[in-house]
Structure 1
Amino acid sequence: MSVYRRKEKTIKRLAYYQIIGGVVGFGIAIWSMMMTESITGGTLLVLAIGLGFFSFSIYCGQQLLKGAIEKGLRLAMLNQALQVLSFTVVGFGLNYVAGLGFLLGVDFTEGSKVISLLTSSGFELHINSRAELNTLSINLVAIYLMRTIATIQKKAAQEAELAEYAARGKQIQ
Protein backbone atom coordinates (compact mmCIF):
# COMPACT_ATOMS: atom_id res chain seq x y z
CA MET A 1 0.00 0.00 0.00
CA SER A 2 1.47 3.33 -1.04
CA VAL A 3 1.98 6.32 1.22
CA TYR A 4 -0.61 8.22 -0.79
CA ARG A 5 -3.18 5.48 -0.10
CA ARG A 6 -2.38 5.44 3.62
CA LYS A 7 -2.59 9.24 3.76
CA GLU A 8 -5.65 9.49 1.49
CA LYS A 9 -7.85 11.11 4.15
CA THR A 10 -5.16 13.67 5.01
CA ILE A 11 -4.64 14.48 1.33
CA LYS A 12 -8.38 14.87 0.74
CA ARG A 13 -8.71 17.14 3.76
CA LEU A 14 -5.81 19.21 2.46
CA ALA A 15 -7.43 19.36 -0.99
CA TYR A 16 -10.76 20.56 0.40
CA TYR A 17 -8.98 23.02 2.68
CA GLN A 18 -7.14 24.51 -0.33
CA ILE A 19 -10.35 24.71 -2.39
CA ILE A 20 -12.57 26.12 0.35
CA GLY A 21 -9.91 28.65 1.38
CA GLY A 22 -9.57 29.78 -2.23
CA VAL A 23 -13.32 30.00 -2.84
CA VAL A 24 -13.92 31.96 0.38
CA GLY A 25 -11.03 34.30 -0.43
CA PHE A 26 -12.28 34.75 -3.99
CA GLY A 27 -15.75 35.61 -2.68
CA ILE A 28 -14.42 38.05 -0.09
CA ALA A 29 -12.26 39.77 -2.74
CA ILE A 30 -15.21 40.19 -5.11
CA TRP A 31 -17.45 41.41 -2.28
CA SER A 32 -14.77 43.91 -1.18
CA MET A 33 -14.52 45.26 -4.70
CA MET A 34 -18.27 45.68 -4.91
CA MET A 35 -18.24 47.61 -1.62
CA THR A 36 -15.46 49.95 -2.80
CA GLU A 37 -16.78 53.39 -3.71
CA SER A 38 -14.15 54.30 -6.26
CA ILE A 39 -12.20 51.72 -8.22
CA THR A 40 -8.81 52.79 -9.52
CA GLY A 41 -6.24 51.01 -11.64
CA GLY A 42 -4.25 50.20 -8.50
CA THR A 43 -7.32 48.70 -6.86
CA LEU A 44 -7.93 46.51 -9.90
CA LEU A 45 -4.29 45.41 -9.93
CA VAL A 46 -4.40 44.37 -6.26
CA LEU A 47 -7.73 42.62 -6.86
CA ALA A 48 -6.32 40.73 -9.87
CA ILE A 49 -3.27 39.60 -7.86
CA GLY A 50 -5.46 38.49 -4.95
CA LEU A 51 -7.84 36.60 -7.26
CA GLY A 52 -4.79 34.96 -8.84
CA PHE A 53 -3.57 33.74 -5.44
CA PHE A 54 -7.01 32.41 -4.49
CA SER A 55 -7.41 30.74 -7.90
CA PHE A 56 -4.03 29.08 -7.35
CA SER A 57 -5.24 27.72 -4.01
CA ILE A 58 -8.31 26.24 -5.71
CA TYR A 59 -6.11 24.74 -8.43
CA CYS A 60 -3.84 23.12 -5.81
CA GLY A 61 -6.80 21.40 -4.20
CA GLN A 62 -8.22 20.37 -7.55
CA GLN A 63 -4.93 18.70 -8.50
CA LEU A 64 -4.97 16.70 -5.27
CA LEU A 65 -8.58 15.60 -5.79
CA LYS A 66 -8.09 14.54 -9.40
CA GLY A 67 -5.20 12.25 -8.40
CA ALA A 68 -2.16 14.31 -9.44
CA ILE A 69 -0.88 13.85 -5.90
CA GLU A 70 2.83 14.65 -6.38
CA LYS A 71 2.07 17.77 -8.41
CA GLY A 72 -0.73 18.77 -6.04
CA LEU A 73 1.51 18.41 -2.99
CA ARG A 74 4.28 20.48 -4.60
CA LEU A 75 1.79 23.22 -5.51
CA ALA A 76 0.11 23.09 -2.08
CA MET A 77 3.55 23.43 -0.47
CA LEU A 78 4.21 26.54 -2.58
CA ASN A 79 0.76 27.92 -1.76
CA GLN A 80 1.39 27.48 1.97
CA ALA A 81 4.89 28.97 1.68
CA LEU A 82 3.33 32.11 0.19
CA GLN A 83 1.19 32.37 3.33
CA VAL A 84 3.90 31.93 5.97
CA LEU A 85 5.18 35.49 6.12
CA SER A 86 3.03 38.58 6.55
CA PHE A 87 4.67 41.98 6.71
CA THR A 88 4.23 45.72 6.35
CA VAL A 89 7.41 47.78 6.15
CA VAL A 90 7.77 51.45 5.12
CA GLY A 91 4.62 51.42 3.03
CA PHE A 92 5.00 48.01 1.40
CA GLY A 93 3.33 44.88 2.66
CA LEU A 94 1.78 41.53 1.93
CA ASN A 95 -0.70 39.41 3.83
CA TYR A 96 -2.16 36.34 2.09
CA VAL A 97 -4.21 33.64 3.78
CA ALA A 98 -6.30 31.03 1.94
CA GLY A 99 -8.15 29.12 4.62
CA LEU A 100 -7.30 29.78 8.24
CA GLY A 101 -4.42 31.75 9.60
CA PHE A 102 -3.05 32.12 13.08
CA LEU A 103 -0.57 34.96 12.77
CA LEU A 104 1.97 35.54 15.49
CA GLY A 105 4.37 38.42 15.18
CA VAL A 106 5.68 41.78 16.24
CA ASP A 107 4.38 45.29 15.60
CA PHE A 108 7.37 47.66 15.45
CA THR A 109 5.25 50.75 14.73
CA GLU A 110 5.44 52.16 18.26
CA GLY A 111 8.11 50.14 20.02
CA SER A 112 7.89 46.36 19.96
CA LYS A 113 4.53 44.82 20.68
CA VAL A 114 3.69 41.12 20.26
CA ILE A 115 0.64 40.61 18.06
CA SER A 116 -1.52 37.58 17.36
CA LEU A 117 -4.43 37.26 15.00
CA LEU A 118 -6.81 34.46 14.07
CA THR A 119 -8.06 35.09 10.56
CA SER A 120 -9.69 33.48 7.56
CA SER A 121 -9.04 33.89 3.85
CA GLY A 122 -7.83 37.33 2.93
CA PHE A 123 -5.37 39.24 0.81
CA GLU A 124 -3.73 42.60 1.43
CA LEU A 125 -1.08 44.16 -0.74
CA HIS A 126 0.33 47.53 0.25
CA ILE A 127 2.30 49.47 -2.31
CA ASN A 128 3.51 52.80 -1.02
CA SER A 129 0.67 53.05 1.49
CA ARG A 130 0.31 52.75 5.25
CA ALA A 131 3.91 53.90 5.67
CA GLU A 132 3.38 54.29 9.42
CA LEU A 133 2.98 50.52 9.91
CA ASN A 134 5.92 48.19 10.50
CA THR A 135 4.84 44.64 11.28
CA LEU A 136 6.18 41.13 10.78
CA SER A 137 4.14 37.97 11.41
CA ILE A 138 4.29 34.27 10.65
CA ASN A 139 1.27 32.10 9.95
CA LEU A 140 1.46 29.05 12.21
CA VAL A 141 -1.32 27.24 10.31
CA ALA A 142 0.66 27.49 7.06
CA ILE A 143 3.78 26.19 8.81
CA TYR A 144 1.82 23.23 10.22
CA LEU A 145 0.41 22.41 6.77
CA MET A 146 3.86 22.67 5.18
CA ARG A 147 5.18 20.23 7.78
CA THR A 148 2.31 17.83 7.04
CA ILE A 149 2.94 18.05 3.29
CA ALA A 150 6.69 17.59 3.75
CA THR A 151 6.11 14.47 5.87
CA ILE A 152 3.93 12.90 3.17
CA GLN A 153 6.45 13.82 0.46
CA LYS A 154 9.35 12.42 2.49
CA LYS A 155 7.58 9.12 3.15
CA ALA A 156 6.64 8.81 -0.53
CA ALA A 157 10.25 9.45 -1.58
CA GLN A 158 11.51 6.83 0.88
CA GLU A 159 8.96 4.33 -0.38
CA ALA A 160 9.95 5.00 -4.00
CA GLU A 161 13.61 4.57 -3.11
CA LEU A 162 12.91 1.23 -1.41
CA ALA A 163 10.87 0.04 -4.38
CA GLU A 164 13.68 1.02 -6.76
CA TYR A 165 16.23 -0.77 -4.57
CA ALA A 166 14.07 -3.90 -4.46
CA ALA A 167 13.62 -3.80 -8.24
CA ARG A 168 17.38 -3.58 -8.73
CA GLY A 169 17.89 -6.53 -6.40
CA LYS A 170 15.49 -8.63 -8.49
CA GLN A 171 17.32 -7.68 -11.71
CA ILE A 172 20.68 -8.88 -10.34
CA GLN A 173 19.36 -12.36 -9.52
Structure 2
Amino acid sequence: MRNKTQNQLRALALYQLVGGVAGILLTLWVLFRGDLVLTVPVLRLSLFAGGLYAFSILCGVLLWRRPRRGLTLSLVNQVLQVLYFSFGAYSFQYVAGLRLGFGLDMVGSWTVKFRMALSSFQFSIGSETGQKFIGINLVALLLIFWIERLMEKQAKDYSGK
Protein backbone atom coordinates (compact mmCIF):
# COMPACT_ATOMS: atom_id res chain seq x y z
CA MET A 1 0.00 0.00 0.00
CA ARG A 2 2.82 2.35 0.86
CA ASN A 3 4.41 1.95 -2.60
CA LYS A 4 1.11 2.81 -4.29
CA THR A 5 0.83 5.97 -2.17
CA GLN A 6 4.41 6.93 -3.09
CA ASN A 7 3.58 6.54 -6.79
CA GLN A 8 0.50 8.71 -6.38
CA LEU A 9 2.57 11.36 -4.59
CA ARG A 10 5.10 11.30 -7.42
CA ALA A 11 2.35 11.67 -10.03
CA LEU A 12 0.85 14.63 -8.17
CA ALA A 13 4.31 16.15 -7.74
CA LEU A 14 5.00 15.82 -11.46
CA TYR A 15 1.63 17.42 -12.29
CA GLN A 16 2.37 20.39 -9.99
CA LEU A 17 5.90 20.81 -11.39
CA VAL A 18 4.88 20.61 -15.04
CA GLY A 19 1.92 22.95 -14.48
CA GLY A 20 4.09 25.53 -12.73
CA VAL A 21 6.89 25.40 -15.32
CA ALA A 22 4.38 25.60 -18.18
CA GLY A 23 2.74 28.62 -16.53
CA ILE A 24 6.04 30.45 -16.15
CA LEU A 25 7.03 29.68 -19.75
CA LEU A 26 3.65 30.82 -21.09
CA THR A 27 3.81 34.01 -19.02
CA LEU A 28 7.27 34.79 -20.39
CA TRP A 29 6.11 34.03 -23.92
CA VAL A 30 3.14 36.43 -23.58
CA LEU A 31 5.38 39.13 -22.11
CA PHE A 32 8.07 38.98 -24.77
CA ARG A 33 6.34 37.99 -28.01
CA GLY A 34 5.89 41.66 -28.90
CA ASP A 35 2.10 42.09 -28.74
CA LEU A 36 2.07 43.49 -25.22
CA VAL A 37 3.29 46.87 -24.02
CA LEU A 38 5.37 46.30 -20.90
CA THR A 39 4.08 48.68 -18.26
CA VAL A 40 4.47 48.61 -14.49
CA PRO A 41 0.96 47.13 -13.93
CA VAL A 42 1.63 44.43 -16.54
CA LEU A 43 4.94 43.55 -14.88
CA ARG A 44 3.27 43.45 -11.44
CA LEU A 45 0.57 41.07 -12.66
CA SER A 46 3.20 38.96 -14.39
CA LEU A 47 5.18 38.74 -11.15
CA PHE A 48 2.00 37.79 -9.28
CA ALA A 49 1.27 35.06 -11.85
CA GLY A 50 4.90 33.92 -11.71
CA GLY A 51 4.67 33.74 -7.92
CA LEU A 52 1.62 31.47 -8.14
CA TYR A 53 3.36 29.24 -10.68
CA ALA A 54 6.49 29.15 -8.49
CA PHE A 55 4.21 28.11 -5.62
CA SER A 56 2.98 25.21 -7.76
CA ILE A 57 6.58 24.18 -8.41
CA LEU A 58 7.33 24.42 -4.68
CA CYS A 59 4.35 22.15 -3.97
CA GLY A 60 5.73 19.58 -6.40
CA VAL A 61 9.20 19.67 -4.88
CA LEU A 62 7.82 19.36 -1.35
CA LEU A 63 5.74 16.34 -2.34
CA TRP A 64 9.04 14.54 -2.97
CA ARG A 65 10.95 15.87 0.02
CA ARG A 66 8.32 16.46 2.72
CA PRO A 67 5.07 14.78 1.62
CA ARG A 68 2.90 15.94 4.52
CA ARG A 69 3.81 19.60 3.99
CA GLY A 70 3.63 19.15 0.22
CA LEU A 71 0.10 17.76 0.42
CA THR A 72 -1.05 20.65 2.61
CA LEU A 73 0.37 23.26 0.25
CA SER A 74 -0.90 21.33 -2.79
CA LEU A 75 -4.37 21.48 -1.30
CA VAL A 76 -4.08 25.27 -1.02
CA ASN A 77 -2.76 25.47 -4.58
CA GLN A 78 -5.71 23.50 -5.95
CA VAL A 79 -8.28 25.46 -3.92
CA LEU A 80 -6.97 28.62 -5.63
CA GLN A 81 -7.70 26.99 -8.99
CA VAL A 82 -11.23 25.67 -8.40
CA LEU A 83 -13.26 28.83 -9.02
CA TYR A 84 -12.73 31.23 -11.91
CA PHE A 85 -14.88 34.25 -12.68
CA SER A 86 -15.23 37.60 -14.39
CA PHE A 87 -17.84 40.15 -13.36
CA GLY A 88 -17.52 43.69 -14.62
CA ALA A 89 -14.22 45.08 -13.43
CA TYR A 90 -13.20 42.02 -11.41
CA SER A 91 -11.83 38.77 -12.72
CA PHE A 92 -9.68 35.90 -11.48
CA GLN A 93 -8.50 32.77 -13.16
CA TYR A 94 -5.45 30.73 -12.18
CA VAL A 95 -4.59 27.35 -13.66
CA ALA A 96 -1.29 25.55 -13.10
CA GLY A 97 -1.78 22.44 -15.16
CA LEU A 98 -5.08 21.60 -16.81
CA ARG A 99 -8.51 23.15 -16.53
CA LEU A 100 -11.66 21.40 -17.61
CA GLY A 101 -14.15 24.05 -16.65
CA PHE A 102 -17.88 23.94 -16.37
CA GLY A 103 -19.59 27.28 -15.97
CA LEU A 104 -22.13 29.90 -16.89
CA ASP A 105 -21.57 32.72 -19.34
CA MET A 106 -24.05 35.47 -18.47
CA VAL A 107 -23.44 37.95 -21.29
CA GLY A 108 -26.64 38.33 -23.27
CA SER A 109 -28.19 35.08 -22.13
CA TRP A 110 -27.26 32.45 -19.63
CA THR A 111 -25.21 29.90 -21.52
CA VAL A 112 -23.67 26.79 -20.02
CA LYS A 113 -20.11 26.44 -21.26
CA PHE A 114 -17.42 23.83 -21.05
CA ARG A 115 -13.92 25.32 -21.25
CA MET A 116 -10.53 23.73 -21.45
CA ALA A 117 -7.18 25.41 -20.82
CA LEU A 118 -3.59 24.71 -19.98
CA SER A 119 -1.69 26.76 -17.43
CA SER A 120 -3.24 30.22 -17.61
CA PHE A 121 -3.73 33.33 -15.54
CA GLN A 122 -6.12 36.29 -15.59
CA PHE A 123 -6.54 38.85 -12.85
CA SER A 124 -8.10 42.29 -13.00
CA ILE A 125 -9.45 44.86 -10.61
CA GLY A 126 -10.89 48.07 -11.93
CA SER A 127 -10.73 47.41 -15.66
CA GLU A 128 -13.98 46.54 -17.38
CA THR A 129 -13.63 43.33 -19.39
CA GLY A 130 -17.20 43.12 -20.66
CA GLN A 131 -17.35 39.52 -19.56
CA LYS A 132 -19.66 37.92 -17.03
CA PHE A 133 -18.99 34.31 -16.25
CA ILE A 134 -18.35 31.95 -13.39
CA GLY A 135 -16.94 28.49 -13.61
CA ILE A 136 -15.55 25.55 -11.72
CA ASN A 137 -12.34 23.79 -12.67
CA LEU A 138 -13.29 20.13 -12.48
CA VAL A 139 -9.66 18.95 -12.60
CA ALA A 140 -8.75 21.04 -9.53
CA LEU A 141 -11.85 19.80 -7.74
CA LEU A 142 -10.94 16.17 -8.41
CA LEU A 143 -7.36 16.82 -7.33
CA ILE A 144 -8.63 18.25 -4.03
CA PHE A 145 -10.50 15.02 -3.31
CA TRP A 146 -7.43 13.00 -4.31
CA ILE A 147 -5.13 15.09 -2.09
CA GLU A 148 -7.49 14.65 0.85
CA ARG A 149 -7.39 10.86 0.39
CA LEU A 150 -3.59 10.96 0.21
CA MET A 151 -3.51 13.04 3.40
CA GLU A 152 -5.64 10.41 5.13
CA LYS A 153 -3.29 7.66 3.94
CA GLN A 154 -0.28 9.64 5.13
CA ALA A 155 -1.89 10.11 8.55
CA LYS A 156 -2.53 6.35 8.79
CA ASP A 157 1.06 5.57 7.75
CA TYR A 158 2.45 7.90 10.42
CA SER A 159 0.15 6.58 13.14
CA GLY A 160 1.13 2.99 12.32
CA LYS A 161 -2.42 1.70 11.70
Identical-pair percentage: 31
In the alignment, the residues of structure 1 paired with residue 105 and residue 40 of structure 2 have an alpha-carbon distance, to the nearest angstrom, of 30
Q: Which amino acid aligns with 1:12?
A: R
Secondary structure class of the residue paired with 1:7: helix
- What do the CA deviations read for 1:50-103 (whole angstroms, capped 9, x no partner)? 00000000000011122x000000011110000000000121101110011101
Alpha-carbon distance, 1:157 to partner = 2.5
Establish whether residue 38 from structure 1 lines up as the match of residue 41 from structure 2. no
In the alignment, the residues of structure 2 paired with residue 37 and residue 98 of structure 1 have an alpha-carbon distance, to the nearest angstrom, of 22
1:61-100 matches, cutoff 5 A: 61-66=60-65, 68-100=66-98
Q: Which residue of 1 aligns with 2:114?
A: 116
In the alignment, the residues of structure 2 paired with residue 22 and residue 162 of structure 1 have an alpha-carbon distance, to the nearest angstrom, of 34
Q: Which residue of 2 aligns with 1:53?
A: 52
Q: Which residue of 2 aligns with 1:152?
A: 150
Q: Structure 2 stretches of 5 or more lacking a match?
A: none
Alpha-carbon distance, 1:126 to partner = 1.7
Secondary structure class of the residue paired with 1:96: strand
Which structure 1 residue ranges, 4+ long, deviate > 6 Å from structure 2? none
Q: TM-score, normalised by structure 1?
A: 0.87
Q: Which amino acid aligns with 2:44?
A: L
Aligned-residue Cα RMSD (Å) equals 1.5
In the alignment, the residues of structure 2 paired with residue 131 and residue 91 of structure 1 have an alpha-carbon distance, to the nearest angstrom, of 6
Alpha-carbon distance, 1:25 to partner = 0.5
In the alignment, the residues of structure 2 paired with residue 116 and residue 153 of structure 1 have an alpha-carbon distance, to the nearest angstrom, of 30
> How many residues were matched structurally?
160
Q: TM-score, normalised by structure 2?
A: 0.93
In the alignment, the residues of structure 2 paired with residue 110 and residue 13 of structure 1 have an alpha-carbon distance, to the nearest angstrom, of 42
Structure with higher Rg: it is: 1
